[in-house]
Structure formats: C-alpha cells, structure tokens
C-alpha cells in the first residue's frame, strides 16, 4: 500500500500531512482530552501547590500522549508488515506455479535431447542428461539463467551454447570462486577478501547463433553489417539473426543472404534469449540500450562495436571486428554485468499494488520530469516506505551505475564504476540549494509518487524513450532487476570504464604544471 494510501486510511499519527519536505507533525494525537482541557484553562492563583499540581498533570499528559503515539505507530507498522506478508505470500504462490510449469517444460526438453543425441552439445553436463548438476558452486552456469533448446518454428532444436561465469583476478590464474569473507572470530569483523573482481565467461560449448543489431539509417553500419554477416557465415558457420528491417536491406543487396533469420512478431522476440548465444551491436550507446530493451528477461552476452560519436558502453573497434569476434567466440571473455532497474507504474485507479502495467527495464535510467508543463514538479520519494524527500524542481533521475555517465552526470550526479551495484538518486534542477545527489544500495525499493495536490502531471521516460504520464496519485516503483546486461569488455571492466571517461569526456584533462617555478624549501 502506498504510504499516502496508508495516510488516507487515516487511523494513525502517520497520516499527518508531510508539510515542508516531510517533517511529520506528530502533535495531532491528544489521548487525554480531559487532562488537556484542565491545562487549557490558565492558572489563576499563585499558589505553589497549584503550580506543582499543574506541572505534574502536564507530565502525565505528555506521557499519555507518547504512549498513544507509540501504540498507533506500532499498529500501523503491524498492519504494514501483515500487508507485506500477504503480498509476498501471493507472489511466492504465483512464482512457485510458474517455476513448476517451467520445470516441467525443461524436463520435456531434456527428454527431447536424450532422444536425439546428435543434437546435444558434447561438453555440457546438462545436455548429457545431468540436468541440474552442471552448475557447480564456483560460478554461474548459463543453463540456470537461459533456458535452451526451445524448438524453432520449423520444429528444429536450436542448440544454445553453454557457458560458465566466474570471478577472475589477474594475479590468480586458478578458476576459483572468491567469497566475501566476514570473520566473526574473537568478535572481530573483517572482510578478508573481496569477491567483486573481474567476471570471466568461459564457453563450455561453441556459440552457434549470433544476433546482430544495427543503428538504423547509417550507410557505414549497413556496409559493416553485410560484411560481418558474410564472414560469420563463411568462416564460422554460424546461424545469424537480424531485425526484419535489416533482413530486407540485406536481401535488397543480394539473395545470398537468404539464410539470415529474423522474427515475425513480439512473441518471437520474447523467446530470442533462448536461441541466441551472442548479441553484436553496431552503433553507439543508443544501440546497446536498444539491444537491452529487446530482452525483458535474461540477456545473452553483448559485444558492442563502436559506430557512434561517443561510446561509453561500446569498447570494440569496428575496424578490427574479425580479430575481436575470433577471440570472443573462442573465449574466455571479460564481462561487465551491467545492472538494470525494473520500474512499475502504479496507477491511482489500480485496485492493488500488483495491478500494474508491464514492468519496464532500464539500463541507463528512469527519469520523472515535468514534461512540457511549465510548473515545478512535486514528487514525493520513499525508500522502502521511509520518506526520503519531496523533489521540487524539474524532476528526478533514478539511474543505474552504467547510466551514471549519461543524463545523471549532466544533472550533477557522480560517475560510478558500472560494476558497483547501486541506484543513483539525482535531482534535475532542484529549487533548493542543499539537494545533493545520493546513491542508494542495491536492495532498496524506491517509490516516486505524484501528490494528489500536484499542480500538473509528471512524465516518466525509460532510457530516454517510452514517455508515460503520471497523474496525481500515480506512482513509479523502482528496484534492481534480476536480469543484468552482460557486455563483453575489450580489456576489463575497470580499464574499459576509465578509457570511456578519458576519451569520451576528457575527464580531468589539464595541462601538467611545469617544474619550472617556485618550490617549497
């Protein structure tokens, strides 16, 4: 239930208006009216006893008020926990149901593979009939994330390459998984070893299918795309998927490209992750955002080639595409797991929290702004039901760390290494001198609510696209999505990130001060 809905049910002190950036007026409860009435009447006499008595009464009234406030807030909290528990239980029941049907589906697929051994990848345990045992504790196996072996429209089984993700550190060549170690020995808490090192992807069977996504209306991209398709087919014998628009372009060039596959409807796009081993993007950052937006669930590894003006997420040079793809197809690949945010728009008219529109997944950010309205936006923000602040200004950006170099940066937010899991909370032109940007940890749920008394609606946009109006009473709820976007690194996450801000932004570029001058003696 929305915090303001809790308020509107109006049973507790938490329903007080949050005037002035949410400072709660907690003096709305007067549990002992009788005592108050006595106190309201001015003390006429100057008798010491009378004064003492009235002070004692004041103390009693204060204590009673505190007790009543405490009780009301405990009741509200209990109601909130009960509500959360019920929602969670419903969700789990739904989830269990979905899991069960997925499992049954997977069992069917395993059966199909067992019955047609020629179609099984050789090096994968799952395909060898040990489903569920292939993923050791030392990494993440693709079969846990990407369900493979979905039959295509012509009933062929598409083999999906199996891979393993593991932590990798430069000075340790062993494939061992590193844990975050918290030691409680002798009461000392230490983090002895950090796990967040470079992530490495190792193919366990060869990639078979590549999806190529291209920036539209670019001749250089079109030329590179047809060259790359030929090379991948002739030299690597891969299955190639492209967008319907691109297939038309390729066929206009030559009927040779008849082997290139595409899709007919959105349903097929939703199943793409079950067929595609690798996604190649030819364009700028916008094309990477486009690629990510096509996958509403798990995302196959993306290899982003730079054909835009700036490229914060596109480290690969298109001139060297053959060498790059050779080494990517062979593996291992350094990977940046880019976190995404999952956004739900909750309409005031909805009957409950989960009656929402389709969730939107963003790789950069969700922006809530004033749109074409000239009024100040007024947005109430909550973090896990705790009131954060009320944004009064042009709007608010909730950004991933990958998006930290995009709009959030322009609005004054900090640049954050993309491997850091967090949600940036960056105001756009706040009309308050003290509103500094913030970063929340990954586990929180943020809620941005357009107050009922707002002068105008607000507008939400997702990675700069798909604008949605938020009327007074509507809210946007945002949390970390369970499906990150794995992008291949040219070098590693840190070097790629630093190179992008040096080359893309000329970050902290200044002529070095000369040695030739005054010196401290």
Ligand X SMILES: NC(=O)c1ccc[n+]([C@@H]2O[C@H](COP(=O)([O-])OP(=O)(O)OC[C@H]3O[C@@H](n4cnc5c(N)ncnc54)[C@H](O)[C@@H]3O)[C@@H](O)[C@H]2O)c1
215 forms part of the interface with ligand ATP (CB under 6 A): yes
Q: Tokens 């608010």 belong to which residue?
A: 396
Select 72 or 341, whichever has its Cβ closest to ligand X. Answer: 341
Note if 47 is an active site residue: no
Q: How far is the CB of 372 from ligand X (least distance, A)?
A: 15
Cβ within 8 Å of residue 48, ≥6 positions away: none
Among 61, 213, 345, 480, contact with ligand ATP (rule: CB under 6 A): 213
Tokens, residue 81: 């926990």
113 forms part of the interface with ligand ATP (CB under 6 A): no
Select 127 or 481, whichever has its Cβ closest to ligand X. Answer: 481
Answer with the entry of ligand ATP, ligand X, none that 405 interacts with (C-beta below 5 to 8 A by kind). ligand X
Tell me the torsion sign for CA atoms 206, 207, 209, 210. Answer: negative
Answer with the entry of ligand ATP, ligand X, none that 216 interacts with (C-beta below 5 to 8 A by kind). ligand ATP
Give the range of 57-65, 125-133, 198-206, 303-311 binding ligand ATP by CB under 6 A. Answer: 303-311
Q: Which of these, 423, 213, 221, lies nearest to 299 by C-alpha position?
A: 213
Give the range of 82-90, 212-220, 321-329, 338-346 binding ligand ATP by CB under 6 A. Answer: 212-220
Q: How far is the CB of 384 from ligand X (least distance, A)?
A: 25
Residue 464 CA, distance from chain mean position = 15
Q: How far is the CB of 228 from ligand X (least distance, A)?
A: 21
Task: Please state whether beta strands 140-141 and 163-168 pair in parallel, antiparallel, or not at all (unpaired).
Answer: antiparallel
Q: At what angle do helices 219-236 and 244-253 cross, to 10 degrees?
A: 80
Integer Cα distance of 211 and 242 in angstroms: 6
Are 338 and 484 within 8 A, CB to CB? yes
Select 32 or 463, whichever has its Cβ closest to ligand X. Answer: 463
- Using DSSP's 3-state secondary structure scheme, residue 435 falls into coil
Select 463 or 474, whichever has its Cβ closest to ligand X. Answer: 463
Select 364 or 479, whichever has its Cβ closest to ligand X. Answer: 364
151 forms part of the interface with ligand ATP (CB under 6 A): no
Catalytic residue among 277, 285, 463, 492: 285
Percent of the chain as helix, strand, coil, to the nearest 5: 35, 25, 40
Q: At what angle do helices 219-236 and 321-330 cross, to 10 degrees?
A: 50
CA dihedral 294, 496, 400, 485 (to 10 degrees): 30
Distances from the Cα of 22 to the Cα of 46, 320, 388, 468, angstroms:
42, 55, 8, 26
The residue sitting closest to ligand X, measured at its beta carbon, is 286
Answer with the entry of ligand X, ligand ATP, none that 283 interacts with (C-beta below 5 to 8 A by kind). ligand ATP
Integer Cα distance of 15 and 7 in angstroms: 4
Answer with the entry of ligand X, ligand ATP, none that 365 interacts with (C-beta below 5 to 8 A by kind). ligand X
Integer Cα distance of 212 and 279 in angstroms: 6
Integer Cα distance of 37 and 40 in angstroms: 5
List interacting residues with ligand X (CB under 6 A).
284-286, 289, 308, 310, 312-313, 364-365, 402-403, 405-407, 410, 463-464
Select 164 or 340, whichever has its Cβ closest to ligand X. Answer: 340
- Positions in 65-104 near ligand ATP (CB under 6 A): none
Give the range of 68-76, 271-279, 305-313, 484-492 binding ligand ATP by CB under 6 A. Answer: 305-313
Q: How far is the CB of 284 from ligand ATP (least distance, A)?
A: 2
- Using DSSP's 3-state secondary structure scheme, residue 24 falls into coil
Interacting residue ranges for ligand ATP, rule: CB under 6 A: 213-216, 243, 283-287, 289-290, 308-311
Residues marked as catalytic: 285
């Amino acid at each position: 239930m929305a915090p303001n809905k809790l308020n509107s049910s109006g049973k507790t002190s938490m329903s007080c208006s949050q005037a002035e950036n949410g400072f709660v007026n907690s003096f709305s409860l007067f549990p002992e009216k009788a005592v108050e009435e006595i106190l309201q009447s001015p003390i006429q006499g100057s008798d010491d006893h009378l004064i003492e008595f009235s002070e004692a009464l004041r103390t009693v009234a204060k204590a009673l008020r505190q007790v009543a406030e405490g009780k009301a807030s405990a009741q509200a909290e209990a109601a909130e926990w009960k509500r959360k528990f019920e929602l969670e239980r419903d969700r789990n029941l739904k989830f269990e149901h979905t899991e069960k049907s997925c499992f049954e589906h997977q069992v069917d697929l395993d059966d199909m593979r067992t019955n047609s051994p020629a179609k099984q990848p050789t090096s994968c345990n799952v395909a060898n009939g040990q489903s569920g045992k292939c993923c050791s504790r030392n990494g993440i196996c693709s079969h846990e994330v990407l369900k493979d072996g979905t039959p295509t429209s012509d009933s062929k089984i598409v083999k999906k390459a199996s891979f393993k993700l593991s932590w990798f550190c430069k000075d340790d060549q062993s494939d061992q998984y590193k844990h975050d170690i918290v030691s409680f020995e002798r009461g000392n808490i230490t983090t002895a070893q950090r796990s967040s090192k470079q992530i490495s992807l190792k193919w366990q069977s060869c990639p078979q299918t590549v999806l190529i996504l291209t920036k539209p209306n670019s001749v250089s991209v079109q030329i590179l795309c047809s060259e790359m398709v030929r090379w991948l087919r002739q030299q690597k014998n891969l299955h190639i998927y492209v967008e319907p628009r691109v297939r038309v372009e390729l066929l206009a060039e030559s009927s040779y490209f008849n082997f290139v596959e595409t899709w007919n409807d959105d349903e097929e796009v939703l199943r793409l992750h079950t067929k595609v081993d690798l996604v190649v993007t030819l364009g700028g950052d916008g094309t990477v955002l486009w690629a990510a937006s096509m996958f509403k669930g798990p995302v196959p590894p993306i290899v982003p080639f730079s054909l835009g003006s700036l490229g914060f997420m596109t480290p690969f040079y298109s001139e060297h595409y053959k060498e790059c793809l050779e080494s990517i197809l062979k593996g291992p690949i350094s990977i940046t797991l880019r976190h995404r945010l999952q956004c739900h728009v909750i309409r005031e008219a909805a009957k409950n929290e989960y009656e929402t529109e389709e969730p939107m997944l963003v790789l950069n950010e969700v922006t809530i702004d004033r749109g074409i309205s000239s009024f100040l936006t007024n947005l109430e923000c909550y973090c896990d039901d705790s009131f954060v602040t009320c944004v009064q200004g042009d709007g608010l950006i909730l950004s991933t760390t990958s998006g930290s170099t995009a709009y959030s940066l322009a609005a004054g937010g900090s640049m954050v290494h993309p491997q850091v899991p967090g949600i940036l909370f960056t105001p756009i032109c706040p009309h308050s001198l003290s509103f500094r940007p913030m970063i929340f940890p990954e586990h929180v749920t943020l809620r941005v609510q357009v107050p009922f008394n707002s002068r105008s609606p607000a507008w939400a946009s997702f990675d700069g696209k798909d604008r949605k109006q938020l009327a007074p009473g509507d809210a946007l709820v945002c949390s970390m999505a369970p499906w990150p976007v794995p992008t291949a690194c040219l070098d590693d996450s840190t070097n790629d990130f630093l190179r992008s801000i040096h080359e893309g932004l000329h970050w902290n570029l200044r002529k070095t001060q000369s040695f030739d001058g005054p010196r401290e003696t």
